[in-house]
Amino acid sequence: MSFDLVVRGGTLPDGRVADIGIRGTKIAALGDLAGAEAGETVEAAGDLVSPPFVDPHFHMDATLSYGLPRLNASGTLLEGIALWGELKAVMTHEEVRDRALVYCDWAASMGLLAIRSHVDTCDDRLLGVEALLDVREKVKDYIDLQLVAFPQDGVFRDPTAWGNTLRALDRGVDVVGGIPHFERTMAEGARSVTALCELAAGRGLMVDMHCDETDDPMSRHVETLAHEVNRLGLHGRAAGSHLTSMHSMDNYYVSKLLPLMAEAGLAAIPNPLINIVLQGRHDSFPKRRGLTRVKEMRAQGITVGWGQDCVRDPWYSLGTADMLDVAFMGLHVAQMTHPDEMRACFDMVTTENAKILNLEGYGLEPGCTASLVVLDAGDPVEALRLRPDRLAVIARGKVISRQARNDPRLTIDGRPGRIRRRHAAGGNLG
């Protein structure tokens, strides 16, 4: 047997230890491949080998713009939206493209190889759309970039948003987005959900709406979204992002809502870094967390994936493109600390998110696309605890990023020691 590339002795997320044989862009064999010839070898030596990280919710048109044209003084969602409007008026295609490409290097170095990014369609020039279409093409050999047509200022509230959203979809944007809680009234919000779901169904596209990103327990657009997804047969092809109002909803109402979401096959995408920062800003004490009901959804069989949302932009000043940071925050805020729950949190930034994006060929089995990441950790829970270095990242059969293992010369009080340093931002694509 011979392979182009063999990853030797990795520990898979389910605990199996196996070699992975790669031919071309596909995984050709999984098991004991001792004696097989390999054009190139990656020694995993017991380290965790995972399919790549997947981010189901991001804003690549805004990323790495922190401080432009000014800081978000109040730290709120609404000032962030206003600030983004100021930046949109002055940004250029090249700036958006270049910031996004830097971010894609960060992502690739972290083993984050599939990203669903919303792109603002409330712009008559469609500048962000054109820039991210450009980026999608440039990174296609190592990152699956799925774009969502996102009318940030409201598809009905903004006078040209509907037409611009249609134009963005005509240009090749993949998914239909929306923001019902930002429309002028609850009724307009509900009407926008119906119109956008019908648009998606008519074009055979997926749906992913920013939905009820508020502390208002009466923001119930998720109910309309579940109903329309069910009515239009969009099962397994629709997601509600954020759903933070569910944190504050009446428990009896939620006991009816969760089965409706499950019946519709509607996925949920909480974004814990952002939700914990932006929600509860109008509260005194006790102050609500604002994260949606993750454990309760999972118990109903609803697919839930952790999203990142923002990195260094008008809404969030930090971020590293590390989906383990996202899962780490999520498991704390959702109190998912049992080992089974922590393993689920790892799945929620890998396999569950791949399901939400409907990625083809995702996984480590023979026949899957040969994209994977080797982490300096022994298992998924240790990976969450350490958020460790990514020793190797392979995209479509090619090693695109490598990092040396921790410096063995380190000593602590005269003993050999190990540090768990973090990856330097910026990537090292070869």
Other C-beta atoms lying within 10 Å of the C-beta of residue 317: 15
Question: Is 12 or 196 the residue whose CB approaches Fe ion more closely?
Answer: 196
Contact 249, 285 (CB under 8 A): no
Cα distance between residue 374 and residue 350, in whole Å: 14
SS3 172: coil
From the CB of 59, what's the least distance to Fe ion, in Å?
A: 6
Q: Which of 19, 55, 212, 309 binds Fe ion (CB under 5 A)?
A: 309
CB 274 to Fe ion: min, Å: 7
Dist CA 420 CA 386 (whole Å): 7
Rounded CA separation 35/113 (Å): 30
Judged by beta carbon, residue 116 or residue 390, the one nearer Fe ion is 116
Please indicate whether residue 213 is annotated as part of the active site.
yes
Establish if 212 lies at the interface with Fe ion (CB under 5 A).
no
Within residues 241-280, the interface with Fe ion by CB under 5 A covers none
Size of the site for Fe ion (CB under 5 A): 1
Both tokens of residue 218? 């009466």
Question: Shortest approach of Fe ion to residue 309 CB, angstroms?
Answer: 5
With contact defined as beta carbons under 8 Å apart, do 238 and 197 qualify?
A: yes
Q: Which residue has the closest beta carbon to Fe ion?
A: 309
Cβ neighbours of residue 181 under 8 Å, at least 6 residues apart?
189, 210, 211, 212, 213, 214, 216, 219, 221, 245
Q: Which residue number, 210 or 293, has a Cβ lying nearer to Fe ion?
A: 210
Q: How far is the CB of 118 from Fe ion (least distance, A)?
A: 6
Nearer to Fe ion, 248 or 271 (CB): 271
Rg (CA), the chain: 21
Is the distance from CB of 378 to CB of 17 less than 8 angstroms?
A: no
- The whole-angstrom separation of Cα 57 and Cα 242 is 9
Q: Which stretch binds Fe ion (CB under 5 A): 20-28, 67-75, 304-312, 338-346?
A: 304-312
Give the pairing type, strands 372-375 and 266-269: unpaired
Q: Which two tokens stand for residue 235?
A: 């099962």
- Which is nearer to Fe ion, 309 or 376 (by Cβ)? 309
Q: Which of 40, 86, 130, 213 is catalytic?
A: 213
Query: Which residues, numbered 143-182, are part of the site for Fe ion (CB under 5 A)?
Result: none
Nearest approach, Cβ of residue 271 and Fe ion (Å):
7
Q: Enumerate the active-site residues.
A: 213
Which residues are near Fe ion by CB under 5 A? Answer: 309
